[in-house]
Homo-oligomer: A and B are copies of this chain.
Amino acid sequence: MHFAFDETTTELIAKLEAFMDEAVYPAEAEAAEQIETLYAEDRWDPPAVLDGLKEQARERGLWNFFLAGHPEEGGLTNLQYAPLAEITGRSIQLAPAALNCAAPDTGNMEVLTMFGTPEQKEQWLRPLLDGQIRSAFAMTEPDVASSDATNIGLSIVRDGDEYVINGRKWWITGAMNPNCRVFIVMGKTDPSAERHRQQSMILVPRDTPGLEVVRGMHVFGYHDRDHGGHAELRFTDVRVPASNLIGGEGEGFAIAQARLGPGRIHHCMRSIGIAERAVEYMCERALSRTTFGKPIAQQGVVQDWIAESRVRLEQLRLLTLKTAWLMDTVGNRGAHKEIQAIKIATPQTVEWILDKAIQVHGAGGLSQDFPLAEMFAGIRTLRFADGPDEVHKASLARAELKKYAVRG
């Protein structure tokens, strides 16, 4: 056991930090303005500064880190990627997308890498890996608890050389972005099959007739226009070629499971970066703001928050790193319990830190003048993402109890 990063990681951290300092942080103010304009003009494409950042990142060799097992595309191990993903979380609206490491595309690229046909890879994976298009993953439905994937309602019915799709989805992140060219859609091809063999995944190009982008869901008052919002979709007799199926019929559940692990840990890594940025904001504000004759930084309660933030964050990061290491060594299934644990721990820790960082800023901390409230909104959604924390806790508890039941 030891706790130092390997040489590759250390070098990439330095390169990435240079990129953040030289390009990303300086672009944040302009991005904020461009995003404000997106709202005003009711547009859903990313802020214009992103294009330049993507170009620079690729030139600097900071690209596609997320794709574990595929060094030829830039992919690192999970453990190598973890501290880099964290750093991108510090500028959550720009950096992950700049490095082509943003959800939900990352998961979609993994799916296509693992399960796509050569044609699917050529048509969709290549431009995704090159950052030319974006994609979305359409699984959550308004009428079904998202923690229970076997329950899905959207139907995918074979009709000759085509599949016909009918149903509704919502919270489809990224789908409002017009450059989101393709959706991976989860639905049921055979409701009479065994419980985990009813589902299939299929590629649906954005412009397919019958596919309607109904509206963007808000999170608190944010639309998340910078990363393509969260769409409600309606599928009415949407027809795609049978060759658009990913894997075989009935493999949808298994593919979804394979997709989940990395997706969750990436969220956690980035969230730790969000929290570090929040601690930075908190400390800088505490040092610069004076009330009743002394800097806030000298107030005992504020010091308590700062210390607690540090203590909680160090623990959370280590569990995330260990989970990454487990994924690399025993696989995503072997790391299942740890993935659940960080999925539970991350939002509660980071939300707590953001709340205190906001409080140190006064009302301004809730406003558009600081990114803290928007960070809070984003983190708050993680307590539901792929099922609420409570479902994951119950599952983790059953695993724990099983140890003793067996022994007893």
Contacts and interface: CB of A to CB of B under 8 A. Distances in A.
Number of copies: 4
Which among A218, A221, A306, A391 has the highest number of chain B CB atoms within 10 Å? Answer: A221
Contact of A394 (B79, B148, B307, B390): B307
Contacts of A1: 2-6, 79, 321, 325
Given A366-B219, A401-B286, A404-B283, A318 B322 contact: yes
Nearest to A221: B221
Q: Which 4 A-B pairs have the closest CB atoms?
A: A300-B300, A221-B221, A221-B222, A303-B397
Main secondary structure of the interface of A (DSSP, over half): helix
Interface residues of A, number: 94
Contacts of A289: 145
10 contacts: A142-B364, A219-B367, A300-B390, A301-B301, A303-B393, A306-B400, A307-B396, A311-B341, A314-B341, A366-B381
Nearest to A309: B400
Interface stretch (A60-68, A257-265, A371-379): A371-379
A341 B222 contact: no
A20 B318 CA distance: 29
Contacts of A374: 220-221
Contact of A303 (B147, B373, B380, B394): B394
Contacts of A393: 303-304, 307-308
Interface string A280-293: 10011011111110
Contact of A315 (B219, B316, B363, B381): B316
Interface string A168-183: 0001000000000000
A4 B286 CA distance: 40
A155 interface: no
A400 B307 contact: yes
B311 A344 contact: yes
A359 B376 contact: no
A301 B390 contact: yes
